[in-house]
């Protein structure tokens, strides 16, 4: 054969031998073929299992999807190119055969609020917000207007409120609304929303699940009822994760439970330590006995697993003092995102809640002296030492 022909054919498309690789390889092929066209025809018709085109499915993604679905106890999962793609796909699937109306928790990830207000509402979806920690308000809102979907996060950001997911699921079922739960902050180690009555679960794989700050990805995990419509929608709109990212996410997820256990125990120690520090005005942590949702937390989360995020307010601080404190951090990384192996701190007023007006922020309880710490897997003594020296920078000189 000529060089041009060999350049296209040599080396590739060898049948695998008897040996099986211990981890799923990165399958980058965009399409697949079979010995007989008949077989491809049956795969296209979905009468036979198999791959035909990477927008539909891909062995690397399928392995990750099986892993995530298994962790959440779902019927199936779809790997998406980002957490936001996953939120968008889940909402589209939730509303497919229901009234185009979303009742959303009033504390949601910033970009999710943006998706609701700037994309879905202009497209004709009615969007209302409710305090999901107030069951009576939710019940009233569901009675007032036909609702296609109830959307919430297991642990809210950044004030870490925890709604009674099982009771909210009962209300959603009663109103024939699809319950979509973003479980990014809690992870399936703390709570599996599908087991509590949710229909669709969303993850930003970027955070705790992948966990190493090296890959962007998302997933929708579905119950049996919603899986086929969800998959049909994904096949058409193509939000799929690339195979390289699938590989990284899957590799990260293998250690997620170990990491999360450590992050949760570190966070318990950090929250207790911060609560006793004279420069700290207030600590927000779901494991605190005085947390407003403490009863729900004890009921839904396993003992000692309250998440790896601790938010806190610096006493008498404004933006300048917060900047001084954060600039003094040496170990804790000053970056957005959360759930990585390394501890990281974010200033919500500057980042996640930047687009929210100061007045609205005040109403949400997000003050100018609030910071959010994602506790990593480091030795907790080193995290505390870094906080201690950085908090020391807040003392006036000579004090
Ligand atoms: C980060 C995050 C998202 C969005 O995920 P991306 O991977 O950044 O697109 C959605 N929900 C929550 C709770 C998040 O923390």
In this structure, the residue with its CA closest to atom 9 of ligand 1 is 83
Tell me if residue 254 is catalytic.
no
Q: Centre a 10 Å sphere on the Cβ of residue 113 and count the other Cβ atoms it contains.
A: 20
Confidence check: pLDDT of 59 > 60: yes
For the Cβ of 203 lying below 6 angstroms from any atom of ligand 1, the answer is no
Residue 71: inside a domain? no
Is residue 109 annotated as part of the catalytic site, yes or no? yes
Instruction: Give residue 120's pLDDT band: very low, low, confident or very high (50, 70, 90).
Output: very high
Does residue 299 share a domain with residue 219?
Answer: no
pLDDT of 10:
83
Percent of the chain past pLDDT 90, that is, above it, reads 86
Pair (287, 372) in one structural domain: yes
CB of 74 sitting under 6 A from ligand 1: no
- The DSSP code sequence of 101-149 is EEEEESS--HHHHHIIIIIITTTT-EEEEE-TT-HHHHHHHHHHS--SE
pLDDT of 363: 83
Name the active-site residue from 32, 42, 53, 55: 55
pLDDT the model gives residue 7 = 84
Segment 222-236, tens digit of pLDDT: 999 999 999 999 999
Question: Is 51 part of any domain?
Answer: no
Tell whether 350 is covered by a domain.
yes
Q: Are residues 227 and 325 in the same domain?
A: no
Q: 329-387 pLDDT, tens per residue?
A: 999 999 989 999 999 999 999 988 887 788 888 888 899 999 999 999 999 999 999 99
Mean pLDDT of 169-198: 98
Q: Same structural domain for residues 267 and 370?
A: yes
Digit-coded pLDDT (tens) for 162-172: 999 999 999 99
pLDDT score recorded for residue 322: 97
CATH of the domain at 293: 3.90.1150.10
What CA–CA distances, in Å, run from 81 to 126, 205, 217? 26, 9, 5
Ligand 1 near 184 CB (within 6 A) = yes
Does residue 190 sit in the same domain as residue 166?
A: yes
Same domain, 81 and 217: yes
- Where residue 111 sits, what CATH number does that domain have? 3.40.640.10
Look up the pTM and report it.
0.95
How far is Cα 220 from Cα 78, in angstroms, rounded to an integer? 5
Give the pLDDT band of residue 12 (cuts 50, 70, 90).
confident
Sheet holding 370-374, edge to edge: 280-284, 309-314, 370-374, 344-346, 333-334
Q: Which residues contact 134 (CB under 8 A, 6 or more apart)?
A: none
Among the three residues 198, 217, 251, which one is the final residue of a domain in this structure? 251
Closest ligand 1 atom to residue 87 Cα is 10
Q: Dmax of the chain from CA atoms?
A: 83
Shared domain for 361 and 343, answered yes or no, is: yes
Q: Same structural domain for residues 274 and 204?
A: no
Catalytic residue status for 214: no
- Which protein residue's CA is at the shortest distance from atom 5 of ligand 1? 83
Residue 138 lies in a domain: yes
211 and 225 both lie in a single domain: yes
The structural domain count of the chain equals 2
Residue range(s) defining the domain that contains residue 309? 256-394
């Amino acid at each position: 054969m000529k060089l041009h022909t060999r350049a296209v054919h040599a080396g590739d498309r060898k049948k695998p031998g008897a040996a099986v690789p211990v981890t799923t390889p990165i399958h980058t092929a965009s399409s697949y073929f079979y010995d007989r066209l008949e077989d491809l025809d049956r795969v296209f018709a979905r009468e036979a299992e198999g791959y035909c085109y990477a927008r539909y499915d891909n062995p690397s993604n399928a392995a990750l999807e099986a892993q995530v679905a298994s962790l959440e106890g779902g019927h199936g999962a779809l790997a998406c190119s980002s957490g936001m793609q996953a939120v968008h796909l889940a909402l589209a699937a939730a509303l497919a055969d229901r009234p185009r109306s979303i009742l959303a928790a009033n504390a949601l990830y910033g970009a999710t609020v943006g998706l609701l207000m700037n994309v879905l509402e202009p497209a004709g979806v009615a969007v209302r917000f409710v305090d999901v920690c107030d069951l009576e308000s939710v019940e009233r809102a569901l009675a007032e207007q036909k609702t296609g979907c109830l959307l919430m996060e297991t642990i809210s950001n950044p004030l870490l409120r925890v709604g009674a997911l099982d009771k909210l699921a009962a209300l959603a079922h009663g109103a024939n609304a699809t319950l979509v739960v973003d479980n990014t902050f809690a992870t399936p180690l703390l709570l599996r929303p599908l087991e509590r009555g949710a229909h669709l679960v969303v993850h930003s794989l970027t955070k705790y699940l992948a966990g190493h700050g090296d890959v962007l990805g998302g997933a929708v995990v579905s119950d049996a009822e919603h899986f086929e419509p969800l998959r049909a929608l994904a096949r058409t709109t193509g939000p799929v994760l690339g195979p390289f990212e699938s590989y990284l996410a899957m590799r990260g997820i293998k250690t997620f439970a170990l990491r999360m256990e450590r992050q949760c125990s570190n966070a318990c120690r950090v929250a207790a330590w911060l609560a006793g520090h004279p420069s700290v005005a207030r600590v927000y942590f779901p494991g605190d006995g005085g947390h407003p949702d403490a009863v729900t937390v004890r009921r839904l989360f396993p003992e000692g697993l309250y998440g790896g995020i601790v938010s806190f307010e610096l006493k008498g601080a404004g933006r300048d003092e917060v900047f001084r404190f954060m600039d003094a951090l040496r170990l804790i990384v000053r970056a957005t995102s959360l759930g990585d192996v390394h501890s990281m701190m974010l200033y919500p007023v500057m980042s996640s809640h930047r687009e929210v007006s100061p007045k609205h922020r005040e109403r949400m309880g997000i003050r100018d002296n609030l910071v959010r710490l994602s506790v990593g897997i480091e030795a907790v003594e080193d995290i505390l030492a870094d906080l201690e020296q950085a908090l020391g920078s807040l003392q006036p000189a000579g004090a």
